[in-house]
Amino acid sequence: MGLFSFIKDAGEKLFGTGEAKAAQDAATAAPSPEANALANAKAAEAISHYIDTLKLLTPEITISFDGATATVTVSGTTPDQASKERILLAAGNVSGVAEVEDKLTVLNPEPEGRFHTVVRGDTLSGIAKTYYGNANKYMVIFEANKPMLGHPDKIYPGQMLRIPPQA
């Protein structure tokens, strides 16, 4: 459990379209508690839908969003540590999210992975060299970040990646 910080302006653009955008515009135009609550609910729904499209969301997971602090809260249970870390990263690697509050419980505890924030010039092989001492282990990092990553060359500055424990 804890609070993870992310770069607010990096990540998937979920709030600029559909109902999340309409709710956000309404909250900005007429800032009332009701409009803000609606915007937060629509943002949480957009994040939940995104995590579900990655096939990471289970019925035991609850997602909420606080627009005032740009914080996503993720609670519930996950089957393993890797699933937990992927869910936290998926929630945090969304443009407009600054922090993710982890209230998840792992049913089968395992060693925790580490996290790396991508900077300009980073490559998966360079990151693998840093953490594992072997650039050829880049596929370990790629596999650990699927399905958020679709290709080993498609990382971007500000993105946070999961670095699994060395096997």
Domains within the chain, CATH numbers bracketed: 2-108 (3.30.1340.30), 114-163 (3.10.350.10)
For 103-154, write each residue's pLDDT tens digit: 999 999 889 999 999 999 999 999 999 999 999 999 999 999 999 898 999 9
* Neighbouring residues of 13: CB distance < 8 A, sequence distance ≥ 6: 95
User: Which ranges in 68-150 belong to alpha helices (H)?
Assistant: 81-92, 124-132, 138-144
Average pLDDT value for residue range 18-26: 53
Whether the per-residue pLDDT at 74 is higher than 80: the answer is: yes
Give pLDDT, residue 16.
63
pLDDT above 90 as % of the chain: 60
CB within 8 Å of 124: residues ≥ 6 apart: 138, 139, 141, 142, 152, 153, 155
**What mean pLDDT comes out for the span 10-14?**
75
Q: Please report, in angstroms and rounded to a whole number, the separation of the first and last CA atoms in the chain.
A: 24
| pLDDT score of 64 more than 90 | yes
How confident is residue 6, by pLDDT bands cut at 50, 70 and 90?
Answer: confident
User: In this structure, what is the dihedral angle of CA atoms 15, 18, 22, 25, given to the nearest 10 degrees?
Assistant: 30
Write phi, then psi, for 16 (nearest 5 degrees).
-95, 10
Q: Quick: pLDDT tens for 30-56.
A: 567 887 888 899 999 999 999 999 999
Selection from 126, 51, 124 nearest residue 86 by Cα: 51
